[in-house]
Amino acid sequence: MNLRILVSASIALILAISSLPLLDPKYFISWKPSLSSPVADLILRNGLIYTSDDSLLFADSMAVGDGRVLRVGNYSFVQELADYRTEELDLGGKVVVPGFIDSHVHFISGGLQMMQVELRGVDKKEDFVGRIKDAVKSTKEGSWILGGGWNNDLWGGDLPAASWIDDITPKNPVWISRMDGHMGLANSVALKLAGITNLSEDPRGGTIMRTASGEPTGLLIDSAMKLVVSQIPEGSVDDRREAMLRASSLALARGVTTVVDLGRYFPGLSADISWEDFSDVYQWADSFSKMKVRVCLFFPMETWSRLADLTKKTGYALSQWIYFGGVKAFADGSLGSNSALFYEPYVDEPHNYGLQVTEPEVLLNMTLESDLSGLQVAIHAIGDRANDLILDLYNLVASTNGMRDRRFRIEHAQHLASGTPDRFGKEGVVASVQPDHLLDDANSAGRKLGKDRAEKESYLFQSLLNGNALVAFGSDWPVADINPLSGIKTAMRRRPPTWEKAWIPSECVSLDDAVKAYTISAARACFLEKHVGSISPGKFADFVILSAKSWEQFAEEASADIEATYVSGVQAYP
Ligand SMILES: *[C@@H]1O[C@H](CO)[C@@H](O)[C@H](O)[C@H]1NC(C)=O
Ligand SMILES: *[C@@H]1O[C@H](CO)[C@@H](O)[C@H](O)[C@H]1NC(C)=O
Ligand SMILES: *[C@@H]1O[C@H](CO)[C@@H](O)[C@H](O)[C@H]1NC(C)=O
């Protein structure tokens, strides 16, 4: 090597190093104990900051540095952390809240659905057919056309049939699911691939809808859906990655900065898919710095030992973006498919009490083992009986395995018998609930349970709060839209479209409680309260600027627009 170059390079290096403390004030400051406070990158002032932190619930200013909240308070207090590089944002009196945490999503399923035919909101048969027709144009011959979100109630109730779309889809199998996910329409090409004919028998727990003459119409209900769904190729790795990125952009546009992903698991679907999503999608995105939303992952409970082994090696935070939540199982089915488990039978099916979908001994064994290995457990329970069974199970597991901070979760906790709401608070069980589901269920619950029973026990958010339960809000996206501001409004107003009055007015909650359920309580519900959930010094600077000009206005209108979403102190939307 040329000696002269080496010498001059060394001199340049020495000069560069020795000039650092003089040129970089941050470096310089670190040597001065009196100036040891970090410098703010960003100061927000003149706002109405709702922190979700009871030690200082409202403030007008905050300072952000290195992706974290540094200070919250009045302007002169946070301004102490400014220097010449600090940016300042005048909020003009607007409301700021912590980034929302959606406590229950199926993130990659939702993203995949965004890439498919969107039938949500379609209110005419012609539009339904039109959207499929458009999809045919952009789909290769022989490839599946997939989609969902249709609701026949919007066009008067007629159920769709394969005959609506067979003419326009002679070369493509089609599968489009109803908004609630318990019914779907296949065209004749798809029926043929699935081997469904005049002679097929209904599988257990499902129905193949037929015409009066016995011919399948194309509609499949509950477990019969699997006949077609099992024929659909699993999305490619690229599709699943794209799905996650699209889902993240949508979440940010709605003010969501953290999601709890319950995976793509539903009873009968392979548990491996959640693990493949973890490695192919989330770990891939993290290693290429493509994560935009923090995710807390739950895995199918039958794979508890795999998660237990992994967390022993890695801990619960893989990075600032990916956290391990715990494991999930199912106690019962759903109200829409008459499979949620109740003490009394369904009014429209007098012999049906619903289903216990996981063998009780198996569920107990898995819960004991998961809990013993330190994992958090979340179990889906919708009917009143299912909720009591799981509370009993949790009690038994807690007394067997001994005291610890375990925060058992019940997902949905939708219908609760008298006395049950208080048990959540007393027994320290998290109620992970989805306000927007009540918009669809208010009508059907009356029909399926009877009006009185439905009003006594459905979506008892205020009763849960009165009993000191930790209540976490979520959407169940893509079953309902990912939209915390909508969920907050629904929890406050409980007014389904076309309803004049609230459904069960005594269960309406305050704006403060609704925002907390989407922020700090949601963070506690998945053990992330040290990192997120409130605008508190030391936590990630994840927050949302709303259009509302005062807390009173926000409370009165129960709505606002998302103006900007920040993650780690950086604007991520728009
Ligand atoms: C601003 O906040 C600081 C710290 O909380 C406090 O000491 C000070 O009195 C406040 N100033 C005003 C004008 O309220
Ligand atoms: C199924 O039934 C329909 C109506 O009875 C009939 O027109 C059709 O030919 C039958 N298809 C087969 C494959 O048997
Ligand atoms: C769960 O079942 C397995 C296999 O039958 C058994 O070895 C284990 O001891 C059971 N665990 C508990 C906690 O009952």
Residues 385-418 have pLDDT tens digits of 999 999 999 999 999 999 999 999 999 999 999 9
Residues 464-512 have pLDDT tens digits of 999 999 999 999 998 889 999 999 999 999 999 889 999 999 999 999 9
d(CA 523, CA 530): 8
The pLDDT score that the predictor gives to residue 66 is 93
**Residue 327 CB: number of other CB atoms within 10 A?**
28
Instruction: Quickly count helices (H) and strands (E) in the chain.
Output: 22, 24
Distance 192 CA to ligand 1 centre (A): 73
Q: Which residues 6+ apart lie within 8 Å of 88 measured at CB?
A: 42, 43, 44, 45, 82
Q: Which residue has the higher pLDDT, 153 or 250?
A: 250
d(CA 183, CA 476): 17
Distance 362 CA to ligand 3 centre (A): 9
Q: What is the torsion angle, in degrees rounded to the nearest 10, for the CA atoms of residue 153, residue 157, residue 163 and residue 166?
A: -10
pLDDT for residue 331 is more than 50: yes
Residues 174-186 have pLDDT tens digits of 999 888 777 899 9
Q: Which residue has the higher pLDDT, 109 or 297?
A: 297
- Which atom of ligand 3 is least distant from the CA of 369? 13
- Provide Rg for the chain, Cα atoms: 26
d(CA 66, CA 121): 42
d(CA 354, CA 314): 40
400 C-beta closer than 6 A to ligand 3: no
Adjacent-strand bridge partners of 155: none
Residues with CB under 6 A from ligand 2: 197-198, 213-215
**What is the three-class DSSP state of 413?**
coil
d(CA 25, CA 38): 11
Tell me the two tokens of residue 38: 């970090």
Q: Are strands 430-433 and 471-473 parallel, antiparallel or unpaired?
A: parallel
**What is the three-class DSSP state of 442?**
helix
365 C-beta closer than 6 A to ligand 3: yes
The pLDDT score that the predictor gives to residue 12 is 46
| One-letter amino acid of 266 | F
Q: Are 115 and 147 in contact (CB under 8 A)?
A: no
Q: Which of 77-81, 240-244, 266-270 has the lowest mean pLDDT?
A: 266-270
Q: What is the torsion angle, in degrees rounded to the nearest 10, for the CA atoms of residue 337, residue 340, residue 342 and residue 346?
A: 0
Distance 216 CA to ligand 2 centre (A): 9
Position 223 confidence tier, pLDDT thresholds 50, 70, 90:
confident
Q: Which residues 6+ apart lie within 8 Å of 485 measured at CB?
A: 254, 255, 559, 560, 561, 562
364 C-beta closer than 6 A to ligand 3: no
Reported pTM: 0.84
List the residue whose alpha carbon is closest to atom 12 of ligand 3.
365
The pLDDT score that the predictor gives to residue 7 is 45
The pLDDT score that the predictor gives to residue 266 is 54
Tell me the two tokens of residue 162: 């394969």
Q: What number is the average pLDDT over the span 54-73?
A: 96
pLDDT for residue 226 is more than 90: no
368 C-beta closer than 6 A to ligand 3: yes
From 76, 79, 80, 81, give the residue whose CB has the most ligand 1 atoms within 8 Å, as the site to mutate: 76
The pLDDT score that the predictor gives to residue 498 is 83
pLDDT for residue 459 is more than 80: yes
Distance 527 CA to ligand 3 centre (A): 27
267 C-beta closer than 6 A to ligand 1: no
The pLDDT score that the predictor gives to residue 273 is 85
d(CA 319, CA 200): 50
The residue written with tokens 């996206």 in the block is: 477
Distance 159 CA to ligand 2 centre (A): 21
| One-letter amino acid of 473 | F
**Residue 336 CB: number of other CB atoms within 10 A?**
21
d(CA 45, CA 82): 12
The pLDDT score that the predictor gives to residue 249 is 97
d(CA 180, CA 480): 8
**What is the three-class DSSP state of 219?**
strand
List the residue whose alpha carbon is closest to atom 14 of ligand 2.
198
d(CA 142, CA 311): 43
Q: What number is the average pLDDT over the span 224-230?
A: 88
- Produce one character per residue of 348-367: b if its CB has 16 or more CB atoms within 10 Å, e if not: eeeeebbbbbbeeeebeebb
Q: Are 342 and 384 in contact (CB under 8 A)?
A: yes
The pLDDT score that the predictor gives to residue 146 is 93
List the residue whose alpha carbon is closest to atom 3 of ligand 3.
365
The pLDDT score that the predictor gives to residue 206 is 76
SS (H, E, C) 222-276: ECCHHHHHCCCCCCCHHHHHHHHHHHHHHHHHCCEEEEEECCCCCCCCCCHHHHH
Q: Which residue has the higher pLDDT, 236 or 8?
A: 236
Q: Which residue has the higher pLDDT, 416 or 12?
A: 416
Q: Are 265 and 271 in contact (CB under 8 A)?
A: yes
- The chain-wide mean pLDDT, for the chain, equals 90
pLDDT for residue 219 is more than 70: yes
Tell me the CA distances in angstroms from 216 to 163, 186, 202, 219, 411, one per residue in order: 10, 10, 11, 7, 35
d(CA 265, CA 273): 8
Position 23 confidence tier, pLDDT thresholds 50, 70, 90:
very low
The pLDDT score that the predictor gives to residue 36 is 58
Reduced DSSP (H G I as helix, E B as strand, rest coil) percent helix, strand, coil of the chain, to 5? 40, 20, 40
Q: Which residue has the higher pLDDT, 533 or 339?
A: 533
Q: Are 186 and 162 in contact (CB under 8 A)?
A: yes
Q: What number is the average pLDDT over the span 290-318?
A: 96
Position 269 confidence tier, pLDDT thresholds 50, 70, 90:
low
All structural domains of the chain, each given as residue ranges with its CATH number in brackets, are: 108-229 (3.10.310.70)
Distance 213 CA to ligand 2 centre (A): 8
Q: What does DSSP assign to residue 495?
A: -
Q: What number is the average pLDDT over the span 56-75?
A: 96
The pLDDT score that the predictor gives to residue 15 is 42
Residues 334-370 have pLDDT tens digits of 887 778 999 999 998 899 998 888 889 999 999 999 9
- Which ligand places an atom closest to the C-alpha of 195? 2
Q: What number is the average pLDDT over the span 149-158?
A: 86
pLDDT for residue 34 is more than 50: no
- Which atom of ligand 3 is least distant from the CA of 400? 13
Q: Which residues 6+ apart lie within 8 Å of 204 measured at CB?
A: 223
From 163, 191, 198, give the residue whose CB has the most ligand 2 atoms within 8 Å, as the site to mutate: 198
Tell me the CA distances in angstroms from 128 to 163, 203, 221, 415, one per residue in order: 13, 28, 19, 33
- Which atom of ligand 1 is least distant from the CA of 76? 1
The pLDDT score that the predictor gives to residue 174 is 97
